[in-house]
Every structure is written in C-alpha cells, then in structure tokens.
Chain A
Amino acid sequence: MIRVVLPHHLRTLAKVRAEIALEVAGPATQGTLLDALEARYPMLRGTIRDHVTKQRRPLVRFFACGRDLSFDAPDAPLPDAVAAGAEPFLIVGAIAGGAAGAA
C-alpha cells in the first residue's frame, strides 16, 4: 500500500480526514499513483493534474523522503520507501511568497 497525504483543501473536497492508503496496480510511479487516487476519489480529477494533458497543476508540488519529486517524470519509479509504504507521498499546495522583507 502506498501512503498519500493530501493538502487540506483536497481532503475537504474528497471528504477524507487522514492519510490515504492506496493499492497501486503495476509499477509504482507518480502516474500510476495518481491514476489510483483519482479512481478512488473522482472529485480529485483535474485538481492535481490537468484532465487532458495529465500535467501537474502549476501550484501543486510532490514531496517524499525529504526530496522534491515535482519535476520527476510521471513514469519514473517512486522511491522505494514510498512504494513500500514506509514513507508517505506528500501532495502539497505550493506556498507562494517568501521574498525578503515580506510581512
């Protein structure tokens, strides 16, 4: 099982409270993981990646095992620890800003 943590707004949309455990068919990649997520929670289609192009939405990021996986290829294998369920796959709404001197 792969563990997935959704950002707050997608949790409320999908009506889930905690981490999700997903069974992923075939090799564990971002693409197969998101396919499984959207199959179980159809309301999440279009919220993480584009309906048609399957491109990640610009302000959504993917983190796991202390790394930013946002720019990994959709068919690249997920880290072993994620595939084994030891570490969660984090879907994150990007935090904008951070400029020096910002209030």
Chain B
Amino acid sequence: MSSVRVLAGTRKGAFILTSDAKRDRWTVTGPHFAGWEIYHLKGSPVNPDRLYASQTSGWFGQQIQRSDDGGKTWRPAGNQFTYAGTAGTHKWYDGTPHPWEFKRVWHLEPSLTEPETVYAGVEDAALFKSADGGTAWEELPGLRGHGSGPNWQPGAGGLCLHSIVLDPSDPQRVFIAISAAGVFRSDDACRTWRPANHGLRSEYIPDPTAEVGHCVHHIAMHPSRPRTLYMQKHWDVMRTDDAGESWQEVSGNLPTDFGFVIDVHANDPQTIYVVPIKSDSEHFPPDGKLRVYRSRTGGNEWEALTKGLPQQDCYVNVLRDAMAVDRLDACGIYFGTTGGQVYASADAGDTWKPIVRDLPAVLSVEVQTLSHP
C-alpha cells in the first residue's frame, strides 16, 4: 500500500498535502512556519519521515527546520552559514565587484544514503553541507574556489545555487546549477569542480558560448540514466547524454522555450515535462493558457497537456523548484504556481486538477512516495 506526500513551500509558509495512491482526495495541513518564506522542503530518501525545510525572512534571516515525523512537528536545526575563508567578491549586476553575502537557502538536497547528511544551495551562490541533520553547516569551498567565481553574476532572482543533483550510481559525482553562472560538476565528492556548459548558447552575455555565465534555471536527472540530464535554461531546453560534457538544444516545437521548471517521468527516463513561459519580460504562460508540455522522446517533439488546466486568462508563473513527480506506476506529476494552486496529474500528465488552489505563491514542490507495510 502506498501513499503520496506533497511538500509545498510558499511565500507565507509550508503546506503538506497527503493522499492515498489513488490521488483523488487530498488532505492539506499548514501553514507551517506561517508568515515565513519557505523556499524549499525535501525529505530524506533513506528516512522519509526526516524532512528538511528552508525557512527565511528578509527581516530575520535563515533557519533550517527539521522534522522526524513526516512534517507533523518541527524543530529549528541550525542557521549559521559562514563562507569558508575570505569571502571575496563576485560581479554585481553592473559588472563591479560585490562582496559575497549570505542571503538564504534556495534548495536542500538530502543525501541518498545518510539521513543526517544534507546539502544546501545558497544565495550568494555556494554549496554547504551538514552531516548532523542540519545543525552545523560547512561550506564546500571548492566550488566557489573555482577560478571563475569572481566573475559570476546574479540572475534576476539573485546569485543563487538552486539545483543539486546527486548521481545515484557514483557517490563521488554531483551536479549543481547556479543562476547565472551555469552548471558545474564534481567527480570527487565536491572537492573540485569544473564547468559543464559546453553547448549552451546565451545571447544575453557578451560571449554567447562562454564557459561560465549562463542563466540555467533548473536541471533534472532520471536516476536510471545518470549521464543524461535535462535543463530549462533562461531560454532553451537542453539535454546532455554525457554527464554535461556537451549539451544539445531540444526545444523543438515548444511555443516558447523560456521557462523555469523541468522534470522527468519516474518510470520513463525519456519522458520529460516543462511549463513554457512567454518570455523573460513577461513571466506568465503564452496566450493566458497554462499548458504543461510533455516530450516522450527526451525533447524536440512536444505535446501540450491542457485537460484540467486553465486555458484562458491565466497569468501565473511556475518557479524553478515547483515541479516534482511521484514514483507510482501511473506516474503522478505535480506543479505549483505563483497564484497559489498546486496542480496534480495522476496519469502522467493526460489530465490535471488542482489539489489545493488558494495558497500563497508557491516557491517549491517536492513529492514523496511512501510505502506502508
């Protein structure tokens, strides 16, 4: 017997939605941490009742919260994120040097093997690790120490490290993505890093094919094919089949290839999902129609999925960490909007319905597929 738990981070708190495997009736709890921005929540794959949450405030800073009962109760873990050594500078929007300053945790990625170990991607971009359940945090300085660090520049949302992808077949290999620096890969458990952006082309930077400087919005991997990654870049949907050595554009027939989210079907590593957004100046769906696009061929050939989604007067956005999938036989797809809806499909995208519709703006969605004896 299985059930599904959806973890939604919003501008004003966290919400947890649960359902049995049919996924047609949902129970909503929350807001947890009411009034705080919850950039991300995620559960440990080793212990699904161990959840981590990034709780943040422009007034009062950062907290990491931890739950050991699947989100029923929480307690503050740690909140000291201090850059290793001399913080140095990166480039500001105008190109001048700007001191590295910690602002918030965008993404928490629990270890695939150790429930007490969790990684944090932060703004200003850096990678931190905790080995004690989120209490003490240490920067993994090899990333920022990469020679390009002083030239990284923030995207419109800040200089944020928003994606952390752990290779399930190789514990030494980790991918991260930064807006607007690009993808980096480590093959030695985060000690050293190298850019993995060959094949990206970004017309909004002086050298469109530069090694570093691309505004990557999100990356996703299917665990059965760890050398294949998919990317929603600022513009362009991209794919690599050699672990980031080279990327190819797979935007194909999308109505626009701007967007934020991308994810992979749990049971078919060639089936991927994006939500096209009109442009970087107009962050809403084209023509006021909220459409998920699915490719069953790993890109290039896309079909619009509209059944159950608003097809007129819809001007929400879907932010970069706000799509996830469950692992049931008929794969469930979930995404949250800045209008406060969380939409779900229990049939791999064929049909959709809102499972909650009046939350604060949704910043992130994660899904846990739970097995009960």
User: Which A residues are within 8 Å of any B CB, using their own CB?
Assistant: 7-10, 12-13, 43, 45-48, 51-52, 57, 59-60, 93-94
**Residue B54 at the chain A interface, CB threshold 8 Å:** no
For B35, give its contact among A8, A47, A60 (CB under 8 Å). Answer: A8
User: In the complex, which residues of chain A have a beta carbon less than 8 angstroms from the beta carbon of B59?
Assistant: 7, 9, 57, 59-60, 93-94
- B272-288 residues at the A interface, CB under 8 angstroms: none
CB <8 Å contact, A12 and B34:
yes
Chain B residue, CB-CB nearest to A41: B76
Whole-angstrom distance between the alpha carbons of A12 and B76 in the complex? 11
With A45-B79, A51-B82 known to touch, is A57 a contact of B61 (CB < 8 Å)?
A: yes
Report the contact-size class of chain B (Cβ under 8 Å from the partner). 10 to 19
Chain B residue, CB-CB nearest to A8: B35
Identify the 8 closest CB pairs spanning chains A and B, nearest first.
A43-B76, A47-B60, A59-B59, A93-B59, A51-B80, A46-B79, A46-B61, A47-B61
CB <8 Å contact, B80 and A46:
yes
User: In the complex, which residues of chain A have a beta carbon less than 8 angstroms from the beta carbon of B58?
Assistant: 59
The distance from the CB of B273 to the nearest CB of chain A, in whole angstroms, is 35
CB <8 Å contact, B82 and A9:
no
CB <8 Å contact, B82 and A52:
yes
Whole-angstrom distance between the alpha carbons of A9 and B57 in the complex? 9
User: In the complex, which residues of chain A have a beta carbon less than 8 angstroms from the beta carbon of B111?
Assistant: none
Whole-angstrom distance between the alpha carbons of A93 and B57 in the complex? 11
CB <8 Å contact, A10 and B82:
no
The distance from the CB of A86 to the nearest CB of chain B, in whole angstroms, is 28
CB <8 Å contact, A9 and B35:
yes
User: In the complex, which residues of chain B have a beta carbon less than 8 angstroms from the beta carbon of A60?
Assistant: 59-60
**Residue B62 at the chain A interface, CB threshold 8 Å:** yes
With A13-B76, A51-B80, A51-B82 known to touch, is A46 a contact of B62 (CB < 8 Å)?
A: yes
User: In the complex, which residues of chain A have a beta carbon less than 8 angstroms from the beta carbon of B79?
Assistant: 43, 45-47
User: In the complex, which residues of chain B have a beta carbon less than 8 angstroms from the beta carbon of A59?
Assistant: 58-59
The distance from the CB of A76 to the nearest CB of chain B, in whole angstroms, is 23
Digit string of B41-66 for contact with A (CB within 8 Å is 1, else 0)?
00000000000000001111111000
CB <8 Å contact, B60 and A9:
yes
**Residue B36 at the chain A interface, CB threshold 8 Å:** yes
User: In the complex, which residues of chain B have a beta carbon less than 8 angstroms from the beta carbon of A45?
Assistant: 79-80
Whole-angstrom distance between the alpha carbons of A43 and B35 in the complex? 17
The distance from the CB of B268 to the nearest CB of chain A, in whole angstroms, is 43
User: In the complex, which residues of chain A have a beta carbon less than 8 angstroms from the beta carbon of B60?
Assistant: 7, 9-10, 13, 47-48, 57, 60, 93
- B65-86 residues at the A interface, CB under 8 angstroms: 76, 79-80, 82
Additional pairs, 20, CB under 8 Å, beyond known A7-B59, A45-B80: A9-B60, A10-B60, A12-B33, A12-B35, A13-B63, A13-B76, A43-B63, A43-B76, A46-B61, A46-B62, A47-B60, A47-B79, A48-B60, A51-B80, A51-B82, A57-B59, A57-B61, A60-B59, A93-B59, A93-B60
Chain B residue, CB-CB nearest to A92: B59
User: In the complex, which residues of chain B have a beta carbon less than 8 angstroms from the beta carbon of A47?
Assistant: 60-61, 63, 79
21 A-B Cβ contacts within 8 A?
A7-B59, A7-B60, A8-B35, A9-B36, A9-B59, A9-B60, A12-B33, A12-B34, A13-B63, A43-B76, A43-B79, A45-B79, A46-B62, A46-B80, A47-B60, A47-B61, A47-B63, A48-B60, A52-B82, A59-B58, A94-B59
Whole-angstrom distance between the alpha carbons of A12 and B36 in the complex? 10
Whole-angstrom distance between the alpha carbons of A7 and B57 in the complex? 13
User: In the complex, which residues of chain B have a beta carbon less than 8 angstroms from the beta carbon of A9?
Assistant: 35-36, 57, 59-60
User: In the complex, which residues of chain A have a beta carbon less than 8 angstroms from the beta carbon of B61?
Assistant: 46-47, 57
The distance from the CB of B34 to the nearest CB of chain A, in whole angstroms, is 7
User: In the complex, which residues of chain B have a beta carbon less than 8 angstroms from the beta carbon of A48?
Assistant: 60
User: In the complex, which residues of chain A have a beta carbon less than 8 angstroms from the beta carbon of B80?
Assistant: 45-46, 51
User: In the complex, which residues of chain B have a beta carbon less than 8 angstroms from the beta carbon of A57?
Assistant: 59-61
